[in-house]
Structure 1
């Protein structure tokens, strides 16, 4: 029995193994190793099964991963040699042919990155086993069991082999590794950019084990290409010049139809998969990577010269194996040629965006905007005394103030009582001003010393019937404590504050009338800003405007600066929230300033308007910007 350290500086393999601490990354290494082995047999004219069997058993705090092929197998000398870090194991690394394995990294790092494991292989009738593990001092060790031996019938049976082949077993015990579910592993194998082409020529099946027994099987695993139209190709011929020599490549470009593409990661469906021989070197869109107009484009580029130059020692891909090395002149020439071929199709997609009628935001951005508009609608009434007439009056163009029941209001904006005296808080409402599909919601902030019964809960308007009053009982235990209750339905809101005061009356205070008092109520009203919308205004000048009829802020998708941040799917990019903050601040301050000036009797006074707008920006500008920085 021989135990020894892996022949490399332990710090180097420690750093590299952490990069491979992923079930998916380990599978890529093991599956592509098997593919290379089958390919070498095929080049000799040998018939191969192409079968790659993966077993996966997920445990509570780890997992077992086993990958088996029926390819070449390895001699004892060969399996020992691959333990050398960075050694030229493959024909590609030796400059003798294609395949993968140029850097001499992958298998070892996959095992050490996940935990520990062993390699069992049969070649030319002889069985070898190498175990890789870490010592108590975290050294990277291996055990070779003193060499190989003749393969026995039980070896073939246990490994599921008829002739040569290799099985790699990994016990996943690294606490930093995400233990994926079986179906997630199947999806990762089917969709991984480095495996899609491989799955068309190999029979990869994935078995789900539980307590060592098979409970589910998927195979052959295949990548399902999304519905698309062909833009270029298939295999459209192209070429590029490097040092007075021409190098060919082929390009297939498609546009997805009625489906969203994944734009990033190893499972991205957007972009051009770059193939050389059997190896996938990258997935990108060259000069148009991450640019607007490419969100639905995908395809493949095949260029044999990339792998040939890599085998000759050119730095075609990065040392970190993160794709093509664009700093190299050969790669840059290739990149420019591909970019030139796809340019007309990217520009055509970008042209469509200039006529985009609508756009959307992410759920998180939409949530931020919703809270901002509610806050500024409340500020319009509470801080600036701007009261909108009922919606019916807006539609009719009537702005004459008249006595109307408030849609939603508390009997008083301020309730105060002594310690341990009961508050009777009442919300008055007029259901006739609501629509049946709306919901009356409550948001209340009360200290632990205040007790409310019953607890406010959301109520569907259709369930209110003829109800015009909702009451709660509140008792406060501590002097000086205060809280508030907010009620909202549709575009209407109401607010009240509750305080426990030492010298307060022993009686609950509040108005009992449901008729809004003359003057300017600041505790209830209708939202000035009920929503927002991305819409093409058919001009390039207005970036955003306020629609008084709709009470909405309209962001113009026809404005060039807005178009820059709307992707090909019609989604406004979250990264451009700063632009949204500027647009909302400009429109909100403009509308509030205009109404404030009119309210003060200075309608048409430009200087008064400018002063009012600057004051509003100083007062609320930072708050508006902060609303787009926090969720």
Structure 2
């Protein structure tokens, strides 16, 4: 009888490497970043000082992409390299030695480097240098380890490591692998949001930086959880055979809107981690496709999980993409998690049923449309994002000449600001179903719309629509035309020189506001008038929200690059985490420019159809709300919290009394109060005035009070059924 070890075949090893990477540069980077983080963890566990910085380098070379991951952690000696890279799948990360690392399988870096092209590790430790190449050749995996040599200054300069540390290089080559080379912005977005790196990206002891060697762009990477509220914090026990009890901590949060529940870069689902916060998986298991669970995110911590790994229990999939669902321990765990998710889904279903019951009916729709048409007209004038050229939107609308006219018929505007012309027409002249074409004879103007459809929802009689126009250059004249059938009306618009805004302000951002997706950069420009802010001046740029970053924190004015005395500096803005807002400020002495930035995860369907700042209200059934109302700038909806005591008293816990006179009056008051406040806030913030916090609050409140005095009665008349009021007054008079 013969007894011996079963050797792992090269064919199996190569298949495992290719299956793990699949030519995916992001996957390779995730593994290498994790290895660097593990190296820092080992230093921290030994109470050794460490920088915690990880640099990711990127540059395009034709169709190929060159990547590198650099750390300034332990580094490796020749013995370390031999131990770590000569075998596949052995325990090399330090987990079995009790370290807090994630490298369970001893193959992450090897897969990343051998699975790509020209993969190699260059490492410095105690003034020694070692290089190790990893590659697949003729269907077999190979290593090539250089002799250990002195760490010369030339080597340190080449690899940009001054002390101990490691850098891993590889190439993504579509000609040699089935792969694509991601763009720089894609690398930023996918790494920052990747669930396997989530704990690393949220660790304040780490500084992850993405560098574009071609453009010299530098992007810090980090992750911010979605805004929401914790709806479950629980602990339970999983008993498993001779291993005993495993304490499990689960936390489920409810986001304010639906989250992505699929893909490695999802922001929803439950992050599964072990007792040392190593990420194992992310899932809602059988509820991933359940719409009622799409707002859920959170974390499950499995204490003592490493005891299973030390005993070689196959509780993780060999592909390193999650826990092994078929393993008895994992089945017990998933069953307990799903029970708790199911309870929260039942609560969501109840909430949804109440929301459906609270949906407004046809009679209410007509009242709301009238009220919000008025509010949106007020917002367009008062909030001043768009300068209205056609007069007060709440004035009585006069019959336009020939039933079809643009107001005013001539106007002056300035560069990079939006202005609204009024298109006023009579439904007696322009019937329902008409399609009005809007055009300009100059490409130097941007129009917000080129078509206006006349529908019964617009009402009858004199209708007013708005044409938003923006001039792209000074000293140009354009004719804005509106045509439908035989009807034609026009307005001549003159863009006056920049001195009307830039010459007086010194500098401005263009555009002055923008909305971003998380970790998806956008370009803006800072325009500087060099006769006011001269060449060589240093302009400081800052953000009031650390989750929203800007590519430069300082701009030096270069007068030689100015055209028509205007220096133009391109900047990139990006944000981490949805529903973040910031004001970017550019400052030089007494000169200032402001840029309003919003980060949103996606455009809601409601927003796509919005015709103004405000939309129909929503009712929220939060059990213990802290306020009466809130406002969603993304959907334009005023949110009324039904269970706030004074609100529930009048409209009922399921909105069953909302159509009574007290209910209608209260709702009208809540909507008007919140809308006037939001208009006032936007007006104050867009004014650019520097105010201390208390002055800002006072100014907003005074503005909101003024709007309430001027327009409050009209909103109440629109939102409250006036026939009920008349009937009530009659009955009261009879008494």
Q: What is the aligned-residue RMSD (CA, Å)?
A: 3.2
- 1:99 and 1:312 map into 2 onto residues whose CA distance is 17
- 1:129 and 1:169 map into 2 onto residues whose CA distance is 11
* Cα separation, partners in 2 of 1:460 and 1:351, compared to 1, 3 Å: closer
- Which residue number in structure 2 is paired with residue 88 of structure 1? 91
Superposed, 1:445-524 pairs within 5 Å as: 463-466=483-486
Deviation of 1:80 (Å): 2.7
Deviation of 1:10 (Å): 4.1
- Which residue number in structure 2 is paired with residue 279 of structure 1? 278
- 2:106 and 2:277 map into 1 onto residues whose CA distance is 17
- Which residue number in structure 1 is paired with residue 339 of structure 2? 340
Deviation of 1:298 (Å): 0.1
* Cα separation, partners in 2 of 1:14 and 1:326, compared to 1, 3 Å: closer
Deviation of 1:267 (Å): 0.5
Deviation of 1:288 (Å): 3.0
The one of 192, 204, 207 aligned to 1:203: 207
Paired residues, number: 367
1:534-565, Cα deviation, whole Å (9 max, x unpaired): 9xxxxxxxxxxxxxxxxxxxxxxxxxxxxxxx
Deviation of 1:118 (Å): 1.4
Deviation of 1:309 (Å): 1.1
* Cα separation, partners in 2 of 1:306 and 1:459, compared to 1, 3 Å: closer
> Secondary structure of the residue that 2:322 maps to in structure 1?
coil
C-alpha contact 2:10 2:141 (8 A) present in aligned 1: no
* Cα separation, partners in 2 of 1:87 and 1:174, compared to 1, 3 Å: farther
**Could you state the TM-score of these two structures normalised by the residue count of structure 2?**
0.46
1:411-436, Cα deviation, whole Å (9 max, x unpaired): xxxxxxxxxxxxxxxxxxxx977522
* Cα separation, partners in 2 of 1:324 and 1:465, compared to 1, 3 Å: same
Deviation of 1:460 (Å): 8.5
Q: Does 1:9 align with 2:10?
A: yes
The one of 107, 113, 116 aligned to 1:114: 116
> Secondary structure of the residue that 1:350 maps to in structure 2?
helix
Superposed, 1:40-119 pairs within 5 Å as: 40-81=42-83, 82-92=85-95, 94=96, 96-119=98-121
- Which residue number in structure 1 is paired with residue 143 of structure 2? 142
- Which residue number in structure 1 is paired with residue 245 of structure 2? 246
C-alpha contact 1:198 1:278 (8 A) present in aligned 2: no
Give the structure, 1 or 2, with the largest relative contact order (CA under 8 Å, sep 6 or more).
1
- 1:126 and 1:170 map into 2 onto residues whose CA distance is 22
- The unaligned stretches of length 5 or more in structure 1 are 1-6, 359-430, 440-457, 468-533, 535-631
- 1:133 and 1:161 map into 2 onto residues whose CA distance is 24
- Which residue number in structure 2 is paired with residue 349 of structure 1? 348
- Which residue number in structure 2 is paired with residue 225 of structure 1? 225
Deviation of 1:341 (Å): 3.4
> Secondary structure of the residue that 2:155 maps to in structure 1?
helix
1:569-605, Cα deviation, whole Å (9 max, x unpaired): xxxxxxxxxxxxxxxxxxxxxxxxxxxxxxxxxxxxx
- 2:156 and 2:9 map into 1 onto residues whose CA distance is 33
- 2:16 and 2:93 map into 1 onto residues whose CA distance is 23
- Bigger mean CA offset, 80-89 vs 293-302: 80-89
- 2:484 and 2:174 map into 1 onto residues whose CA distance is 57
* Cα separation, partners in 2 of 1:140 and 1:174, compared to 1, 3 Å: farther
> Secondary structure of the residue that 1:67 maps to in structure 2?
strand
Deviation of 1:47 (Å): 1.6
Deviation of 1:464 (Å): 4.7
- Which residue number in structure 1 is paired with residue 364 of structure 2? none
* Cα separation, partners in 2 of 1:164 and 1:196, compared to 1, 3 Å: same
- Which residue number in structure 1 is paired with residue 394 of structure 2? none
* Cα separation, partners in 2 of 1:308 and 1:438, compared to 1, 3 Å: farther
Deviation of 1:224 (Å): 2.2
* Cα separation, partners in 2 of 1:353 and 1:182, compared to 1, 3 Å: same
- 1:356 and 1:113 map into 2 onto residues whose CA distance is 51
Query: Which one has the largest radius of gyration?
Result: 1
**Could you state the TM-score of these two structures normalised by the residue count of structure 1?**
0.53
C-alpha contact 1:73 1:123 (8 A) present in aligned 2: yes
* Cα separation, partners in 2 of 1:437 and 1:154, compared to 1, 3 Å: same
- 1:311 and 1:164 map into 2 onto residues whose CA distance is 30
C-alpha contact 1:261 1:269 (8 A) present in aligned 2: yes
C-alpha contact 2:14 2:139 (8 A) present in aligned 1: no
